[in-house]
Structures are given as structure tokens and as C-alpha cells.
Structure 1
Amino acid sequence: MIIHQFYDKGLAHASYAVIRLGKMIVIDPARDPQPYYDFATFNDAEIIGVIETHPHADFISSHLEIHQTTGATIYASKLLGAEYPHETFDDGDIIHLADIKLKALNTPGHSPDSICILVVDENGNDKAIFTGDTLFVGDVGRPDLRENAGNITAAKEVLARQMYHSTREKLMTLPHHVIVYPAHGPGSLCGKNISPDLESTIGHELRENYALKFMKESTFVDILVSDQPFMPKYFGHDVEINKKGAEPLDKSVSAVPRIDKNSALEKGIVIVDTRPVDNFRTSHLHGAMNIQDGDKFETWLGSIIGPDEPFYLIGTDETSLDTLIRKAAKIGYEKNIKAALLPPDQMPEVLPEIDRSDYKFHPDHYSIVDVRNWGEVNENKIFPHSISIPLPELRERLGDIPTDKPIVVHCAAGYRSAAATSIIAGKINSVPVYDLGEAVVEVVRRKAKV
């Protein structure tokens, strides 16, 4: 038996292939199916099945495309309400992969329709379990993503109680040697305390995972619903797409319009400029948002831009533009792209540079906006009199920013403050808007020494 993990660092998403005697099943595939086809070819295997542990909120799955291309059967819980061809896969159901078995366990908690998949080897021994977003290394799935999305909705407190019983009655009773393969690693917004490790064992999680410690149900619920990370705007949108099944990737991205870099752009349409901050600062289009290309581009794109909001996409060159379109497609945003283009020849807008010495000695001369997440702010407020507006909330809360002084924006390292500065400067022109950028790191170090 071969179990192989495919990992997308940008979305902290893990998917899997299980191969036994020339037959292969894919679990929780990413938007691009090609790596699974390549792996099957390399191992001289036939893809016969795709299993969805739940309708994912943070990425678009290629389950329907794999089915259409290979004829593989899609398996999902009957509770999911899938609108694509599939076979239901719930408690008591078994998929025979040659002489091994994949058994379904209904494990509601992250979502009402979550399942885990227990692998039983050719000797009848419990070998591994694919836990989807139910159990992570060091954490369990957040319970607040299905209050308004999916075939079945439920309050976060209800799902947290279900998670308590799923973990204690279904997962914690498994043999300690069973290997745990989760759908996410560190950085995923589907959990709040995910370990850097990408696999574990039931025994290790029983010893180390805070959520599996002995506690009352009410205590577990209180812990699980508190201090969860922010929810990007696109999460509910992706649940609905995955419930229906997405269009084939290549067909969808090839339909994105490409226009000449000097074309007139329609007024009122958001412009997403992905160039490095130094390039953006010296020249950009009026109102453009600087969401830089990087490991977390798709997460911030889907946190700042709404799922029904069209936008122009500017990339540094043709290669990066191709990559960016495919990144947008990973969260189902390729259809939002009004057009993709290279940087225009004329970009007259410039962001001013802050006078660091004046700011260092006279911070009261400025309105300081902290765009970090609430958890970061609550743990350590860097500037006592700053206004806290997390980046995902910024466009809706621009009216909360005073305009009687120059504005300084900061985050933890510079990426989010660059995006936030561009958003604020695009709407507020009565005072200068400065990006503290990476200089905030030195401020933090200086405070730590005091």
C-alpha cells in the first residue's frame, strides 16, 4: 500500500493518494488535478475513486473534474447534499481497494457532513485515518464556518458539541498506532492551533492535543468557539461551489480575458496590483490595491475582495500573471477577474515615504492604524493609542479612521500594511497615508528591550 501526501503551502492544504495493487483513490483533491494524474501514471495505477471529507470552505476541489476525466467514482456523505454524480459514504460504508478497506466514519463538528476515512490493511489491521478538517495535528477543526453555508447549517455551539462527541467516540477510541493524515497544516484558517507537523498518530494526539484532553463537554465548547481566526469573505462561496462541483481548471482559467496593458479600465472596478511594494509605492493606478504575490496571496485576495466582486488583475510579467490566475482559481475567483494585464506605461500615483525620525520622536503627530488580526492585537498592542482594524475588515471600516492627522499603517512584518495602505490611500486623500512596513519589526524589538 502506498499513501502519498500532496501539500499546498499557500493554502496549507494536504490531499492524499492511496494506491493498492494498481488502483488509486484520491482524498480531498486540490483544484488542479494534474499532480494526481501524474502520480497515478508514475505508479502505473488507475484512479478509481475520489473521496470528499466535506465541502471545503478554503479551497476549490477538483473532485468533479477527476470524475469527468477518469470515470472515478466520487464518494461523499449523504448529508452533504452533493449535486454532482456520487455514491454516499457514511458510517458502515466500505470502499474495497483491492485487498484493503477504506471505512467511513461520520464525524460532525467542523461541519455537519464531515467524515473521516479509516484505512484497514490487507491483514485486517487499522492502519491510518484521513481526518479531513475534523482532527489536525495539535488541534481540531473550527466549528463556525457552517452557520450560513452548505446543505445543512448549524450554530457553532451545536457543532462544537458534535466535535466533542466525534473526537471522543470515534477517533480517540482508535488504536494508538493509527497514523493521522489531516487535510491542513500550520497557517490554515480552519483551525487555531495547528502544529507544524503534517502527520501524527492517535497516540501522539491523545498526549499532546489540547482538544483531546479530559474535560467536560461545556468546557470543550467554550474553548473551541473562542479565539478562532478571522473568516475570509470567500469561505461560504467555496462551500457552495464544492457542493456543486467546479468547472475544469484549464477551461476556466483560459476563459479569463487578457487585455493590452494600456487599455482603458472600466471605472468603479477594483484593481488588484500584485507587484512588490517598492514597485507599487513609486507608481500605480489610482485606487489600486497592493495585494502582493506570495505564499498567502489567495487567502488575502479572498479576504479583501468579495466573492461576487469583479476586479482587474495586474501582474509583473506574463509568467507571474499566469500563476496568479491559477492561484485565484484555487479559491474559485478566476471568474471574478474582469481582465488580466501587465503594468500600464503610465501609472501616476505615488505613495509618500514617512520621515522615520519625526515618527520615532513624535508618534502623536499621526493617526496609527493597526491592521493585524484581533488575536495578535489582544496579545500585544504595539502602539497604545492605535486604532485596530484587521485587514479583512478595513474596506468596510474606512470611516472609523480619523483624518485630522497623517495616517500611519502597520501590521507585524509589512505584507498586510502594504495592502492596507493602498486601500486607505485610494479612498482618503485629505492627509498623507504612510506604510510603516518592515520598520515595525524594529519598533517591536526596541519595546522588548525596555
Structure 2
Amino acid sequence: MENIEQIYTGCLAQGAYYIESEGEVAIIDPLREVKPYIKRAEEDKARIKYIFETHFHADFVSGHVTLSKETGAPIIFGPNANPSFDATIAEDGQEFSLGKLTIKVLHTPGHTMESTTYLLKDETGKDYAIFSGDTLFLGDVGRPDLAQKAADMTQEELAGILFESLRNKIMPLADDIIVYPAHGAGSACGKNMMKETVDTLGNQKKMNYALRADMTKEEFIKEVTEGLLPPPQYFPLNVKMNKEGYEDIDTVLKRGTQSLGPAAFEAAANETGAVVLDVRHQEEFAKGHVPRSIFIGLSGSFAPWVGALIADVEQPILLVAPEGKEEETITRLSRVGFDGTLGYLEGGLEAWKKAGKEIDTVDSISADVFKQRLDNKIPVFDVRKETEYAAEHVEDAILTPLDFLNDHLAEFPEKETFYVHCAGGYRSIIAASILKSRGIHNLVDVAGGFKAIKEVGIPVTDFVCPTTLKK
């Protein structure tokens, strides 16, 4: 169907949807910056008629509030939603006409209690596609632990409700129906998502462990709740913003794009307690950066790492960004609710150095040099995820996952030199910046990470044994 466009944002592993028929448009789960949707509708000589939300998102701030304000289109949630702003709370089975198409509400609680799947019917009334939000992913289903406090239920109770939703509302649908999920591989909203972003329901019934026809509810609850890592700390704060509203993105951009000379930048950092966030490439950061600044580069999974590591969406932020990337950075921060950017360093690090300000560096070595030094028994810290470490790791390396680095600070040597590596070099520089901001400077980064380590023939193992460093 030519009327549907999936607008996929790789950094967030998030899918928003634009559906048009006969000059009428529905947007499902829009991102924070809404101008692209408005512009697209104008190009189609169409009007945005509905804004559908599948649930109160935890991993990003949706653009529903601003989009409704700018277009007059109503925001539609499924049953059980109770937002602080005006919205249509649809009933299970309620239908909305969109040109020649129809969108039917299927209440599918379990990931959250308001979670809703939207079933799109074509002009003949035939079921064509589902927009499944976080209820059904490709290869997985939404984790049932995020709404425990709000719903006053255990994750096992929510998983049981999700089982019923899938069996009663999703699985009876025809195999040729297209599944458009809210997220793909890389999102923290599930465990085993496929890298593909569109599939048929029939293929999911074959491929997705959670849709096995012979699965009991007890088996489903066990498998869905098994191996869930703690959610990032910013998730509840994003839910709150999606439920209660937020500032317009234009206001956030205007405040954040203030250029500050080195003296004003330093004064702002001292007076406001702002985090200095450096978003350049990791190699540039290693060569020189503002002391105690945190590195999270735009080239990686920027917004989720900001959310996981800075955590407090109200934290003031000052930026060191590549020239011309300031607005993009502020926009991407706002997608996960970080609206407190106060300005950026005009002229970047070069201006900082010319002003005679102090700079810091990260000691970084190649995998070849690392191989030569390994015989010295210097401790090695691996900041990848547990699953990556379990698959393969440097012998005797100590696992300190970046997501939870602050929980491992006591394990790093106080004086002895140690090495830090990740998979490819991005996360280890993030880790190095956090450690240095905490006063831990006796570290050496292994450039190129585990990929480079394997290429030079350093011995690795898949033997997993809990390893902690005794000081």
C-alpha cells in the first residue's frame, strides 16, 4: 500500500508512521520534532487528521503534544490512558475513518496497561496491517517490567496479560497482515529484536519465540521475563513527559543554540553545575577535550547513551559539538527528554585552546601495542554488554558494562595503570571520559576495541567466570 511510510530513526531504533488517504493523514508515534510530518502533509496537499499513540513511551519523548497544537489534530490513545492534556481515549474496537481507509483500535495491554495496537483496513474493509507499538516486535515482544509501579502489578502479572493480548487480539489475525512495530534491534524495550523493521504476521508466528502456538502462559511468562536487564534510569522521566506534556521543541532549540565564548562557557559550567557534553568523534575527544567533560559521540547510539548515563532529564548541559552540528545535537537530546541545553562552545576546542584554557587527553593505544604489553599483567576492563562478554572476551578481563559503569567504580585500581576496551572504540572512550570526570586518570584505551584485539591475534575465551578485581 503506497499510503504508508515508515519513518525509521536508527539512533533510537524507533519507527514512526505516516498514513495518507484521500488527503487525510494519520501519524502514529511521532518523534519530538514535528516539522517533517507537517511538511510532508503539505507536499501531499493533505491535512493531518489524527495523531495515534500506541502507549506512553519510555525510551523517547513523542511529538504528539506539539503536533496536535500545531495542526489541531486530536491525540488518540487506547483504553486506560489518562494523560494530563486533552486527548481522545478510544474504546476497544472503535474505528476511525481515514479517507478510504479505516483504523481499528485493538487494546493489547501487557507491555503497559494502555498499550494499543492499531489495525489498518484497506478500502475494501480487508485487514491490511497492524501498528503494534511495543506489544509485538519482530522477533520479540515488549518487556513487561516497565509499567510495574504505575500499574501496581508485578512483571509476571503484566506478562500474563500480554500473553492474553497476543493470543486473543493479534494471533487470530490473518498471516498476510503486515506488522509495523515501534522499535527494532538496538532498542532497550525488548531483548531479541530482529534487524528488519517490517514483516508479515505469518512469518512472525513462525519466527517469534513469544508467538509459539503450543506455548503455555507459564512458559511465556518465564521466557519473556528471563534475562531482563534493568531499564535505563531515564525511562520513567520520559513516560512522565509523554503523559503530562513538555516544552515546544522550538523553545528548547532557541535556548540551546546560544553560542558561548570560552570564558562565558567556563563561567556557565561553574555557575550552573552543567555537564559539559562533547559529541565529536571519539578520536578527536581522545586527542584533546575540556577537562571533566563527558564524551558521547553523535556517530553512535547517541540519545540512548545520553539517557542511560546522564539519566536526569533536568540536568543542565553545555555542548562541545562539531561546527554546524549544534542544532542536530540539541534535537537529538530532546528526543529523549534532555531539554536543558544552555549553549555551546563557540569555535569548539580550537577556541578553547587559543584562549589558553587547560585541556585533557585520553591515553589511547593500538591493539598491536596492547598485545605487546599484555604480558605485564596490567588489568583489562571490558565495558561491553554481558552477552557480548559471555560470547568472547580477553582472558582474565573484568566485565564492567558501560550501562552500569557507576556501579563498578570501586573495582578500578586507584593508582595502577589499567586498560579499557569495548567492541569498536566508541563505548570505551565514553567510559574513559566518565572515569576521568570521577578523578580516575590511570587508564589506557585500546583503540578499535575487541574487533581490533581479535584481528591481532590476542587470545580470547568464552569461559565465563565472575571476575572482580581485589585492590
Instruction: Report the TM-score, using the length of structure 1 for normalisation.
Output: 0.93
- 1:240 is displaced (CA, Å) by 0.6
What percent of counterpart residues are identical?
A: 31
Give the whole-Å Cα distance in 1 for the aligned partners of 2:459 and 2:383: 20
In structure 1, the partner of 2:260 is 259
Query: Is contact 2:68–2:75 with CA below 8 Å preserved after alignment?
Result: yes
Select 1:374's aligned residue among 386, 397, 400.
386
In structure 2, the partner of 1:128 is 129
Give the whole-Å Cα distance in 2 for the aligned partners of 1:415 and 1:340: 22
Deviations 1:37-71 (A, max 9, x none): 12211222111110100011111111111111111
Deviations 1:45-98 (A, max 9, x none): 111110100011111111111111111011112412111111112312111223
Q: Aligned in 2, Cα 1:142/1:364: closer, same or farther, shift over 3 Å? A: farther
Instruction: Report the TM-score, using the length of structure 2 for normalisation.
Output: 0.89
Structure 1 unpaired stretches of 5+: none
Q: Aligned in 2, Cα 1:396/1:35: closer, same or farther, shift over 3 Å? A: same
- 1:143 is displaced (CA, Å) by 1.5
Give the whole-Å Cα distance in 2 for the aligned partners of 1:302 and 1:332: 8
State how 1:43-442 maps to structure 2 within 5 Å: 43-148=44-149, 150=150, 152-213=151-212, 214-229=214-229, 231-256=231-256, 257-263=258-264, 264-265=266-267, 266-267=269-270, 268-307=273-312, 308-317=314-323, 319-335=324-340, 337-341=341-345, 342-343=348-349, 344-345=352-353, 346-354=357-365, 357=369, 360-380=372-392, 382-429=393-440, 432-442=442-452
Letter in 2 for 1:259: L
Query: Is contact 2:79–2:107 with CA below 8 Å preserved after alignment?
Result: no
Deviations 1:346-390 (A, max 9, x none): 34212224485465353553222111112222333x123222221
Give the whole-Å Cα distance in 1 for the aligned partners of 2:109 and 2:39: 33
Letter in 2 for 1:422: S
Letter in 2 for 1:272: L
Q: Aligned in 2, Cα 1:439/1:292: closer, same or farther, shift over 3 Å? A: same
Give the whole-Å Cα distance in 1 for the aligned partners of 2:220 and 2:183: 21
Letter in 2 for 1:171: I
Structure 2 unpaired stretches of 5+: 462-471
Give the whole-Å Cα distance in 1 for the aligned partners of 2:277 and 2:375: 31
Query: Is contact 2:6–2:16 with CA below 8 Å preserved after alignment?
Result: yes
Q: Aligned in 2, Cα 1:83/1:302: closer, same or farther, shift over 3 Å? A: same
Q: Aligned in 2, Cα 1:60/1:100: closer, same or farther, shift over 3 Å? A: same
Deviations 1:208-250 (A, max 9, x none): 1111113111111111112235522211111110011232212
Give the whole-Å Cα distance in 2 for the aligned partners of 1:255 and 1:332: 15
Give the whole-Å Cα distance in 2 for the aligned partners of 1:436 and 1:153: 45
Q: Which moved more, 1:287-296 or 1:3-12?
A: 287-296
Give the whole-Å Cα distance in 2 for the aligned partners of 1:17 and 1:92: 21
Q: Aligned in 2, Cα 1:357/1:282: closer, same or farther, shift over 3 Å? A: closer
- 1:203 is displaced (CA, Å) by 1.0
- 1:404 is displaced (CA, Å) by 4.6
Query: Is contact 1:30–1:60 with CA below 8 Å preserved after alignment?
Result: yes
Aligned residues: 444
Q: Aligned in 2, Cα 1:224/1:447: closer, same or farther, shift over 3 Å? A: farther
Query: Is contact 1:104–1:117 with CA below 8 Å preserved after alignment?
Result: yes
Counterpart secondary structure, 2:66: helix
Q: Aligned in 2, Cα 1:281/1:338: closer, same or farther, shift over 3 Å? A: same
In structure 2, the partner of 1:40 is 41
Query: Is contact 1:140–1:211 with CA below 8 Å preserved after alignment?
Result: yes
Counterpart secondary structure, 1:192: coil
